[in-house]
Structure 1
Amino acid sequence: MSRSSTVNFGAPVQSGIVHSHFNVQAKAPQQPLLAWRDRVGHVIDVLPSLSDLEKPFRASIDRYGVGQLAFTDCRSDSMLLERSLTRISRDSIRDYAFHVFLEGDVDDVAVRASPRNRASGAASILVLDMGQPVRMRRNTCRVLTFFVPGILAQEMFPDPEALHGRTMQNETPLTGLIVEHVTALSQNIAGMGASVADSAIRTSAQLLLAAFGKQAGLSGNARAAARAAMFGRVRRYIQANLSNESLSPESVLNALQLPRPTLYRLFQHEGGLGAYIRHLRLRQAADELARYPHVTVTEIAYGLGFKSSSDFTRAFRRAYDMAPQDFRALSMEGGQVLPRVRHNEPAEISG
């Protein structure tokens, strides 16, 4: 987990993703809740009752560290959690923890001793200042948590300590975008490179801060974070439907129900949405030509949504200055890397 507010959030990632996994199922039947308490005890205390210890308990967590950023994907049964002033005085953890519940929720969140400071109702998203005390009941859930350095929170929220204990439901377009973005991150982070994961975690943090800023009536600009998440949403749809012959800018508009001007602006720097779709198809085609020498060019063309092998050959030649058959021959002869895209073709965006 990242710690103090001295983190340079704009610093480039210097190393890869550090991943760890823990599952209490590997423990003896009478030990899982105590094993879980030991596992998360460096961050927050689990407060089991005697009856809790007698019940079955399931929990697992995956933690991904990228530079000074951290993201966890946790599934667990219900438990009572507390981060006390005593605990806070003994450690240096001062990040802001944004919890996004994909399943289940959290309730009875108390950030002060007085009952009037308890959050009412269950929440889909919760933010905690790890430098302040909290006590809460986390119900059986799957929760994704982003640990955000204080310096980033201060950039987007003028009084970040006031974030502590704030909750919200997934009821707005912005929170819906957040849930979709973090869900995609949880599904794909294991296969991401460090720089891509770093960018995705940063975008998630910016979206979450923007949502709470909007809830608080602040005038912060969430456009850049929202644009990155929306771009990711469109890109995932295109990649999932790349082999569909009917895939087109119009079909993307209809499927995702996005405003036409917004969608076109997103891909303006790619030469347009149609050019972006064609580019991804051609990159995939080049990969398949090299990897599957026994698959015919025609089969590859139709498999990627081209209407004919001649249309595919013309598009491939325009992009790479050679015919598909010539590219395959080069790749088979000497392990040739993918040819460089011509300058008038859009470059693929990662992340």
Structure 2
Amino acid sequence: MTGSMAADNPGRGPEALAHLRAMTADICEVVPRTAENDFHVTTVTWMIRNALLIDTRASDQDYDRTPAHVARGVMDHFQITLCVEGEMQFSSGRREVTLRPGDIVLIDMAQPNQTALRAGGGRTHLMTIVLQRAMLAPRLAYPDAATATLLPSDHPHARLLASHYAALGLPSEPGTETGIGNAEATVEAIADLVAAAAGGTAEIVAGLERAERHLYITMIKRHIANNLETDALAAEELCRHFHISRATLYRLFEAEGGLAHYVREQRLNLAFRRLLSPSAQDGRLIELAVDMRFSSDSTFIRAFRRKFGLTPGELRELADTWLRETGAVPAIDTVLHQLARRRASRP
């Protein structure tokens, strides 16, 4: 889904400060607010096709982006920044905001601005989505007036948006619904919600429900994927966890055949991945069926065969044969494609 780069500037002290200043010379001036020996900054970057995600941990410091920096044209982007820990004070012209944990701000880097990070001797932790101007500006009714738009932690959309920041940097697992396309769609939906809060176009406001739906269902599906082997996926549990009504939850999963159907399908997908693993070759099917919350191994086998066109035992044999002949475990996508071709060739 995304590619994680090594920490761009790990460590502390004068060398870390000098390195950061060299990297940002055309973007801003860096002013430490600690002794140079106590200076610290670490950034990790993830690339997504339509955005850049930056995770930063830093000691107290200021960034001054002057008109001269703006004139160099190195960064003509919007940033959507989430404060995770510490405090961030941001100002641009007459607009000033202070971010505390859970708060989100929209920043226009085409305008001069000042940023102060303060954590009282600790570290300020920020996560930032960087968007090209060509992506966000058309969503805004007044692009030049959007900077310093604050979504406080108690804003109806702040928690929803914050839940997606860390997830965008997670690697995808073969055979799951995560992937490049879903990450791109999530970034698009985040851009829609932030644009609406900053004064979006009529089209963006009209499509707000669609963006909300995407972010909610993506968040819930991620929770389901992490809890397939638990009993925490009943409708009442999910409603309580995500603070939504049962009617809303069921409506979100209508296109998936219903919540129960979706959960069952994802458990079967997980069982498929488990059965391809060499470590699963000696395991009992009844144990796998119980882990996937099926009432019996026979119920599990019937459901598995309906979905994949072969029994769990047959899949084990296929994986074992492949391993003996090639010395490698078959890729999930390879097996799925083979099974699809097999079904298509049947009279």
Normalised to the residue count of structure 2, the TM-score between the two structures is: 0.81
Give per-residue Cα distances to partners, 1:63-95, cap 9 Å, x unaligned: 122335211111111111111111111224211
Give the Å deviation of 1:248: 3.1
Distance verdict in 2 for CA 1:180–1:44, change over 3 Å = same
Give the Å deviation of 1:340: 4.4
SS in 1 for 2:62: strand
In 2, the alpha carbon distance for the partners of 1:223 and 1:282 equals 31
Q: Which runs of structure 2 are paired with 1:1-351 in the superposition (5 Å)?
A: 17=3, 19-25=5-11, 29-48=13-32, 52-107=34-89, 109-112=90-93, 117-119=94-96, 121-122=98-99, 124-140=103-119, 141-186=124-169, 188-189=170-171, 193-213=179-199, 219=205, 221-245=207-231, 247-291=233-277, 292-334=280-322, 335=330, 337-338=335-336, 339-340=339-340
* Residues 298 and 308 in structure 1, CA contact (< 8 A), matched pair in contact too: yes
Give per-residue Cα distances to partners, 1:246-290, cap 9 Å, x unaligned: 633343234333222221222111111111101011111111122
In 2, the alpha carbon distance for the partners of 1:97 and 1:173 equals 20
Distance verdict in 2 for CA 1:21–1:220, change over 3 Å = farther
C-alpha RMSD over aligned residues: 2.8
Give per-residue Cα distances to partners, 1:92-135, cap 9 Å, x unaligned: 4211111111112212x3322xxxx1525445222221111011
Counterpart of 2:107, as a letter, is: L
SS in 2 for 1:337: helix
Give per-residue Cα distances to partners, 1:276-321, cap 9 Å, x unaligned: 1010111111111221211111111111111211221121122223
Give the Å deviation of 1:55: 4.7
In 1, the alpha carbon distance for the partners of 2:111 and 2:296 equals 63
How many positions carry a matched residue from both structures?
A: 316
Normalised to the residue count of structure 1, the TM-score between the two structures is: 0.80
Give the Å deviation of 1:333: 2.3
Distance verdict in 2 for CA 1:299–1:18, change over 3 Å = closer
Identity %: 24
In 2, the alpha carbon distance for the partners of 1:103 and 1:73 equals 12
Counterpart of 2:47, as a letter, is: G
SS in 1 for 2:75: coil
What residue in structure 2 maps to residue 9 of structure 1? none
Counterpart of 2:19, as a letter, is: A
In 2, the alpha carbon distance for the partners of 1:197 and 1:103 equals 24
* Residues 50 and 131 in structure 2, CA contact (< 8 A), matched pair in contact too: no
Counterpart of 1:297, as a letter, is: L
Could you tell which deviates more after superposition, 331-340 or 67-76? 331-340
What residue in structure 1 maps to residue 325 of structure 2? none
